[in-house]
Amino acid sequence: MSDANLPNPIDLAASAPWLARAREAIAGACAADRLPQALLLQGIPGLGKAALAEWIARYALCDAPSVDACGQCPSCQFYQAGNHPDLLRVGVEEGKKQIAIDDIRDMIGALALSSYRGRRKVAVVQPADALNVNGANALLKTLEEPSGSALLILVAVRPERLPATIASRCQRVKLQAPDEAVARTWLDAHGKAEDWTLPLKLSAGAPLAALALSAVPQVESEMAEVPQMLSRPDADIPAMAERCQKHFPAERFRCLEFWISERIRYGLTSPAPSAPGQPTVSPEVRRRHIQRLYGLLDEVRRARSLLSSNAAVALLFEQVFVSIAREMDALRQASRRA
């Protein structure tokens, strides 16, 4: 994201128009002294959930918040210095896939102590969908026996992976992608792209994801070549899958979805039997091909939905690639027979 002009998380969360409703709800609850004990921030990747969690933490700790945290009080200064004694953050350690149970236990222990500044304590857990059973159980105990002044902020892309017992004790903050016009205006102010249509499409409308994607345009062009590469008899599928898993796997799957959708659309709307790049086939063969493309589309979507689980990402790509290669091959055989 190096050449994108991205503000720091606090400024981002304070200004992103699609987070305004969430900010106002938090500010209102704070003013009425009705901040819940636990919040669950949820939404697709690229909406700024992590930034919003930081914004809420700073806000809830501030001595004199109004529309935003004051930025001046001792609490805000502690926050700014990066060493706020009443703010805890728990996440996944590098190279690990789950949040360590010891980290959760340490956090719970720290939350049980009284606030250093005599106000409240805030803990941010993210990604909360990376809690394992033990971690979730430990957290549940804390939620069942709340200590009056603690605010727990859970951040999750896939909240359905959290035990219902936890989710039900949290107030949900469901973040949604903004209208396309809002997203485009924001993107124009923060990034450089000729056209945001494809990045927004591949990011399901999430502006931060679209921005990140626009900074690495080679993902699109690389993925556009994948179907061609898969049609070759010497295609090294495991190596391709290995490369794809490393960067932007979700966006790569969306590129494939886009390619398949376009192919379906073309096949359905074009009466010409010999479309560019498409072998000449009979209407019957084409009908069956389109049918299988719908199946492929489902398969790619399923693979993408498994990304945030503990599935092996390279294997997900490999399975999808094998299916695409098989379909391309079937079509080639059919057109040869025609």
Nearer to Zn ion, 74 or 217 (CB): 74
Residue among 6, 70, 92, 306 that touches Zn ion (CB under 5 A) = 70
Residue among 38, 40, 76, 250 that touches Zn ion (CB under 5 A) = 76
Backbone angles phi, psi at 122, to 5 degrees: -130, 135
Query: Considering only 55-63, 109-117, 141-149, 232-240, which stretch makes contact with Zn ion by CB under 5 A?
Result: 55-63
Query: Considering only 70-78, 82-90, 240-248, 268-276, which stretch makes contact with Zn ion by CB under 5 A?
Result: 70-78
- What are the residues facing 171 on neighbouring strands? 39
Q: Does 300 bind Zn ion (CB under 5 A)?
A: no
The pair of structure tokens assigned to 286 is 């084409």
Query: Considering only 60-68, 114-122, 203-211, 321-329, which stretch makes contact with Zn ion by CB under 5 A?
Result: 60-68
Minimum distance from residue 74 beta carbon to Zn ion (Å):
8
Angstrom distances, CA of residue 92 to CA of 25, 74, 161? 28, 29, 16
Enumerate the H helices of 94-132 as residue ranges. 101-112
Nearer to Zn ion, 54 or 318 (CB): 54
Nearer to Zn ion, 62 or 124 (CB): 62
**Taking the CB of residue 103, how many other CB atoms lie within 10 A of it?**
17
Query: Considering only 63-71, 120-128, 203-211, 290-298, which stretch makes contact with Zn ion by CB under 5 A?
Result: 63-71
Minimum distance from residue 295 beta carbon to Zn ion (Å):
55
Minimum distance from residue 147 beta carbon to Zn ion (Å):
23
Query: Considering only 54-62, 163-171, 243-251, 304-312, which stretch makes contact with Zn ion by CB under 5 A?
Result: 54-62
* Number of amino acids touching Zn ion (CB under 5 A): 5
Nearer to Zn ion, 76 or 211 (CB): 76
Element (H, E) at 231: helix 218-231
Secondary structure letter of residue 99 according to DSSP: B
Query: Considering only 68-76, 205-213, 240-248, 297-305, which stretch makes contact with Zn ion by CB under 5 A?
Result: 68-76
**Peptide bond between residue 17 and the one before it cis (omega within 30 degrees of 0):** no
Distance CA 330, CA 234 (A): 16
Minimum distance from residue 29 beta carbon to Zn ion (Å):
17
Nearer to Zn ion, 30 or 100 (CB): 30
Q: Which residue shows structure tokens 């450089």?
A: 192
> Which of 46, 45, 52 is CA-nearest to residue 21?
52
**Peptide bond between residue 127 and the one before it cis (omega within 30 degrees of 0):** yes
Q: Does 73 bind Zn ion (CB under 5 A)?
A: yes
Q: Could you tell me the end-to-end alpha-carbon distance of the chain, in angstroms, rounded to an integer?
A: 48
Distance CA 246, CA 235 (A): 19
8 Å CB contact between 19 and 52: yes
Minimum distance from residue 68 beta carbon to Zn ion (Å):
9
Distance CA 304, CA 255 (A): 11
Nearer to Zn ion, 73 or 315 (CB): 73
Nearer to Zn ion, 35 or 154 (CB): 35
The pair of structure tokens assigned to 15 is 């200004």
Minimum distance from residue 76 beta carbon to Zn ion (Å):
3
Distance CA 59, CA 25 (A): 12
Minimum distance from residue 65 beta carbon to Zn ion (Å):
6
Angstrom distances, CA of residue 322 to CA of 46, 167, 235, 300? 29, 37, 10, 11
Q: Does 62 bind Zn ion (CB under 5 A)?
A: yes
Q: Which residues form the interface with Zn ion (CB under 5 A)?
A: 62, 69-70, 73, 76
